[in-house]
């Protein structure tokens, strides 16, 4: 991943860690690379805002930034939109294996047990 | 009605009937690649034959002795304005037949436009969705030594998929890492890589597009489901060349029965702050089957024993059985006949359209 992508990621991590909205200076202080110019941090925050991942509000003379959604919400969106519930393919091709349940799942579990014990058996 | 038009109409109907039969046949599992070629031929043949029949019906009315070939259609089109003018001055009355032919032409043009439109719309939607996936993966996913070359997302459900395209990616959930051992993970990676290398997304795209347009059609649904399953089997076959089949089989089974679903309990609202687990009804991988039909195409709340659930369970079992006990391939003669049939389905309507018969 390129440098800009890494920065966006690092800044999102900082924002997700913090319970409150943060100013550019606060974000810069939390980043591990303290040599980053203030303007660089601000530019990346602007990009993230334009992309819709970050929201900002004016507080006095400075902007305060917060993530638009929680990390868990984005992870859920990632997994759910890969392939929607009606089976229409979206971004992803297909799931590796769809979940089964009920009596068929029991039958498959039996098959799994016999396969696992039949050979090398033990899993870590 | 001229003979070529009737022939095209028969081909169009025949394609639908053949699709219905093919969806229920068992031989495709013995040779998925040939079956997919036949599916593609049926889809393309149906499209060409239907449009051709509709346009031909109109053209045969204007110049009864001409064929349906494109040159004839073009000539007929050139004379149409004159004919319409003459009809207006009562030299030839508008009869039921004329109205039917005119409607047929309009229907043909609309169908052709619709088919192109849905294809382009599907491509645009897929590209947009992939872009969003990549943006989210950039922010959320990380590497893991257990799955070299793939991206890991911190989600408790067991899921693995690939994002095709120029900048492709393989995504494995944290739940999957916890569930499978090293060998099984390698098998999953091999399976997903097979999808990417063989560009299965291009194979599936026309069927996905068709389903979006003809969502109400049982044949479109069947076609979509069958081709998706065949594509999975092709990836299984390719993966089996690099990894032992049993590892892939146990990986499939573990993920399948893990009960880790992604079915949203309520509306698909993603609000900030709410824990994804609570809102999305996620069951972590490894939990004993709660009897929920997770991530099934059936609506949430459907009973696990619904016919839809049974068909799906059959798919997973079919793949596992196929891995452990590979069925014999099709006889060479059968493969040749099927290949010839597929070619004919595509070429015959196309030739009929281009030549003045």
Range with the poorest average pLDDT among A53-62, A77-86, B152-161: A77-86
Whether the pLDDT of residue B308 is over 50: the answer is no
Place of tokens 């990549």: B134
Question: How are strands ordered across the β-sheet holding B160-163?
Answer: B151-153, B169-173, B160-163
H-helix segments, A3-86 = 3-17, 24-30, 38-51, 71-82
Can you spell out the DSSP letters for B81-141? Answer: HHHHHHHHTTSS---HHHHHHHHHHHHHHHHHHHHHHHHHHHHHHHHHHHHHHHHHHHHH-
Biggest CA–CA distance in chain A, Å, is 69
Place of tokens 């039969």: B21
Distances, alpha carbon A70 to alpha carbons A74, B171, B271, in Å: 7, 20, 8
The string of pLDDT tens digits covering residues B325-357 is 999 989 999 999 999 999 988 888 777 777 654
> What percentage of chain A has pLDDT greater than the value 70?
84
> pLDDT band at residue B247, thresholds of 50, 70 and 90?
very high
CB-based contacts of B102-105 (< 8 A; 24+ apart in sequence):
B102/B58, B104/B54, B104/B55, B104/B57, B104/B58, B105/B54, B105/B55, B105/B57, B105/B58, B105/B59
Whether the pLDDT of residue B269 is over 50: the answer is no
Asked if A90 and A82 touch (Cβ cutoff 8 Å), the reply is: yes
Residue B25 has a pLDDT of 92
> pLDDT band at residue B85, thresholds of 50, 70 and 90?
low
Interface predicted TM-score (ipTM) of this complex, two decimals: 0.84
Q: In three state form, how does the secondary structure of B21-43 look?
A: HHHHCCHHHHCHHHHHHHHHHHH
Whether the pLDDT of residue B57 is over 90: the answer is no
CB pairs under 8 A between A and B: 217
Tell me the two tokens of residue B231.
């594509």
Q: Which residues of B fall within a CB distance of 8 Å from A11?
A: none
H or E segment and range at residue A67: strand A62-67
Name the more confident of B84 and A124. B84
> pLDDT band at residue B244, thresholds of 50, 70 and 90?
very high
Residue B177 has a pLDDT of 95
Could you give the 3-state DSSP secondary structure of residue B80?
helix
> pLDDT band at residue B323, thresholds of 50, 70 and 90?
very high
CB contact burial B236-258 (16+ within 10 A = b; e otherwise) = bbbbbeebebbbbbbbbbbbbbb
Instruction: Say if strands A54-59 and A62-67 run parallel, antiparallel, or are unpaired.
Output: antiparallel
| Residues forming a β-bridge with B185 | none
> What percentage of chain B has pLDDT greater than the value 90?
42
CA of B355, closest CA in chain A: separation in Å? 38
Whether the pLDDT of residue B207 is over 60: the answer is yes
CA of A112, closest CA in chain B: separation in Å? 6
Residue of A nearest to B227 (CA): A94
Instruction: Decide if A8 touches B, using CB distance below 8 A.
Output: yes
CB-based contacts of A53-61 (< 8 A; 24+ apart in sequence):
A53/A12, A53/B139, A54/A12, A54/A15, A56/A21, A57/A21, A59/A21, A59/A23
Whether the pLDDT of residue B72 is over 70: the answer is no
Q: Which residues of A fall within a CB distance of 8 Å from B305?
A: 102-103
Between the two ends of chain A, the Cα-to-Cα distance in Å is: 32
User: Cβ of A102 and B293 within 8 Å?
Assistant: yes
Tell me the two tokens of residue B298.
């059936």
Can you spell out the DSSP letters for B219-280? Answer: HHHHHHHHHHHHHHHHHHHHHHHHS-HHHHHHHHHHHHHT------SS-----TTS-HHHHH
Distances, alpha carbon B280 to alpha carbons A79, A86, B340, in Å: 11, 16, 49
| Phi, psi torsion values for A53, nearest 5 degrees | -85, -20
Tell me the two tokens of residue B280.
């999305």
Stated pTM of the model: 0.79
Mutation for B interface: A78, A83, A100, most B CBs within 10 A: A100
Mutation for B interface: A99, A109, A110, A114, most B CBs within 10 A: A99
Instruction: Say if strands B169-173 and A62-67 run parallel, antiparallel, or are unpaired.
Output: unpaired
In terms of Cα–Cα distance, which of B344, B352, B340 is closest to B34? B340
Whether the pLDDT of residue B139 is over 80: the answer is yes
Euclidean distance between CA atoms B228 and B263, whole angstroms: 20
The string of pLDDT tens digits covering residues B284-307 is 444 433 333 333 333 333 334 444
CA of B335, closest CA in chain A: separation in Å? 27
């Amino acid at each position: 991943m390129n440098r800009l992508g890494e920065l966006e990621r690092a800044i999102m991590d900082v924002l997700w860690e913090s319970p409150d909205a943060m100013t550019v200076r606060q974000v810069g202080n939390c980043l591990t690379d303290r040599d980053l110019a203030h303007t660089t941090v601000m530019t990346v925050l602007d990009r993230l805002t334009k992309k819709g991942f970050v929201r900002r509000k004016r507080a006095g003379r400075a902007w305060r930034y917060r993530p638009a959604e929680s990390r868990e919400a984005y992870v859920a969106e990632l997994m759910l939109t890969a392939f929607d519930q009606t089976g229409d393919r979206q971004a992803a091709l297909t799931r590796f294996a769809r979940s089964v349940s009920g009596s068929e799942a029991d039958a498959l579990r039996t098959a799994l047990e016999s396969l696992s014990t039949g050979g090398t058996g033990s899993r870590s | 009605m001229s003979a070529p038009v009737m022939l095209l109409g028969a081909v169009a109907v025949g394609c639908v009937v053949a699709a219905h039969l093919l969806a229920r046949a068992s031989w495709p599992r013995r040779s998925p690649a040939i079956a997919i070629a036949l599916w593609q031929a049926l889809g393309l043949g149906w499209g060409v034959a239907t449009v051709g029949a509709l346009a031909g019906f109109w053209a045969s009315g204007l110049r009864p002795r001409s064929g349906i070939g494109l040159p004839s259609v073009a000539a007929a089109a050139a004379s149409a304005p004159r004919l319409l003018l003459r009809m207006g001055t009562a030299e030839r009355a508008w009869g039921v037949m004329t109205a039917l032919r005119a409607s047929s032409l309009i229907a043909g043009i609309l169908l052709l436009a619709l088919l192109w439109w849905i294809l382009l719309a599907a491509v645009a939607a897929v590209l947009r969705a992939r872009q969003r996936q990549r943006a989210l993966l950039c922010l959320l996913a990380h590497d893991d030594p257990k799955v070299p070359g793939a991206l890991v997302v911190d989600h408790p459900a067991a899921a693995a998929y690939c994002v095709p395209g120029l900048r492709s990616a393989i995504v494995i959930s944290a739940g999957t890492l916890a569930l499978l051992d090293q060998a099984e993970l390698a098998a999953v990676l091999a399976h997903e890589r097979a999808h990417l290398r063989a560009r299965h997304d291009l194979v599936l795209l026309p069927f996905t597009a068709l389903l979006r347009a003809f969502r109400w059609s049982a044949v479109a649904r069947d076609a979509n489901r069958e081709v998706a399953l065949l594509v999975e089997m092709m990836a299984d076959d390719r993966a089996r060349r690099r990894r032992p089949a049993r590892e892939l089989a146990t990986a499939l089974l573990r993920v399948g029965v893990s009960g880790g679903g992604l079915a949203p309990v309520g509306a698909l609202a993603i609000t900030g702050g709410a824990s994804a687990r609570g809102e999305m009804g996620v069951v972590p991988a490894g939990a004993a089957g709660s009897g929920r039909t997770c991530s099934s195409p059936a609506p949430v709340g459907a009973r696990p024993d619904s016919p839809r659930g049974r068909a799906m369970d059959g798919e997973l079992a079919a793949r596992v059985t196929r891995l452990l006990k590979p069925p014999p391939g099709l006889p060479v003669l059968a493969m040749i006949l099927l290949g010839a049939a597929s070619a004919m389905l595509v070429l015959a309507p196309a030739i009929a359209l281009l030549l003045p018969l």
